């Protein structure tokens, strides 16, 4: 058992005690989160993360399998935090308020740029370069969050079935990932949107677009089973 005093110089020596190991993992996740928020998930490499934490790449791989596993852990954490925020916004919501549900769900993604960026990267990259155990754990977390969110929506809108709640939340989550990427273009395209009259109308604003699609989906789901 390691009993020496941890000095500043030793901070990123190999962590031997479980609590040291957890602290090290958190430091790595924090570094990846900061870099992804600043530069976009696509631009953050394992070397960038290691350099920000102040350790060598090979040391980092004692804590995580791959770059993708680091981001998959961040995605799981973001889903858990997202569903907690939905609880806060929907637990006391008045029944039948589809407009409120559409607004809350749209803003739940608009307030979380990292979650949106990660949603697009998840099936494309993150789920493909990790072990079966890591991807299974991630899927159970993300599916659980979507299911909990669907139940919250269904409590506000009891005309929806459980399946319809899942369809609604699933479609909005996929769109949040895709539309966020369109709403956050690179510098070359951003400049074209700002200067080119033929393209300016194509620039998308995330929350209004998600809110509008959410309203259409709920309008399509609710009257289909309750015709007037």
Question: Among residues 24 and 112, whose Cβ is nearest to a second copy?
Answer: 112
Q: What are the C-alpha distances in Å from 212 to residues 23, 49, 175, 208, 217?
A: 42, 37, 12, 6, 9
Nearer to a second copy, 50 or 75 (CB): 75
By CB under 8 A, the residues from 117 to 146 that bind a second copy are 120-121, 123-125, 127-128, 130-132, 135-136, 139-140, 143
Q: Does 171 bind a second copy (CB under 8 A)?
A: yes
Footprint of a second copy on 21-60 (CB under 8 A):
42
Using the minimum distance from each CB to a second copy, give the nearer residue, 15 or 156: 156
**Cα–Cα distance measured from residue 30 to residue 53, given in angstroms and rounded to the nearest whole number:** 9
By beta-carbon proximity to a second copy, the closer residue of 88 and 223 is 223
Q: Smaller CB distance to a second copy: residue 61 or 222?
A: 222
Contact 214, 102 (CB under 8 A): yes
Subset of residues 183 to 222 that bind a second copy, contact rule: CB under 8 A: 185-186, 188-189, 191-192, 196, 198-199, 202, 212-213, 215-221
Is 103 among the residues that bind a second copy (CB under 8 A)?
Answer: no
Q: Single out the residue of 58, 159, 76 nearest to residue 114, CA to CA.
A: 76
Q: How many CB atoms are located within 10 Å of the residue 84 CB?
A: 12
Q: Give min distance, CB of 72 to a second copy, in A.
A: 11
The answer to whether residue 225 forms part of the interface with a second copy (CB under 8 A) is no
- Number of residues in the chain: 228
- The least distance separating a second copy from the CB of residue 142, rounded to whole angstroms, comes to 9
Among 23, 80, 167, 207, binds a second copy (CB under 8 A): 167
Point out which residues bind a second copy (CB under 8 A).
Answer: 42, 120-121, 123-125, 127-128, 130-132, 135-136, 139-140, 143, 167, 171, 174-175, 177-179, 181-182, 185-186, 188-189, 191-192, 196, 198-199, 202, 212-213, 215-221, 223-224, 227-228
């Amino acid at each position: 058992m390691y009993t020496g005093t941890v000095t500043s110089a030793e901070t990123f020596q190999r962590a031997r005690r479980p609590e040291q190991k957890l602290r090290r993992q958190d430091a790595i996740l924090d570094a990846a989160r900061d870099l992804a928020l600043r530069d976009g998930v696509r631009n953050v490499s394992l070397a960038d993360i290691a350099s920000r934490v102040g350790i060598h790449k090979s040391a980092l791989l004692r804590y995580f399998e791959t770059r993708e596993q680091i981001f998959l852990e961040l995605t799981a954490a973001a889903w858990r935090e997202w569903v907690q925020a939905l609880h806060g916004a929907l637990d006391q919501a008045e029944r039948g308020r589809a407009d409120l549900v559409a607004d809350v769900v749209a803003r739940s993604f608009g307030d979380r740029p990292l979650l949106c960026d990660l949603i697009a990267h998840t099936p494309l990259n993150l789920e493909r370069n990790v072990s079966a155990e890591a991807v299974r754990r991630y899927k159970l977390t993300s599916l659980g969050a979507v299911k909990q969110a669907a139940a919250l929506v269904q409590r506000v809108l009891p005309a929806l079935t459980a399946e319809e709640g899942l369809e609604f939340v699933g479609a909005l989550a996929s769109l949040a990932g895709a539309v966020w990427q369109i709403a956050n273009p690179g510098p070359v395209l951003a400049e074209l949107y700002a200067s080119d009259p033929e393209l300016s109308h194509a620039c998308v604003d995330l929350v209004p677009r998600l809110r509008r699609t959410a309203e259409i989906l709920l309008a399509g789901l609710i009257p289909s089973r309750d015709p007037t």
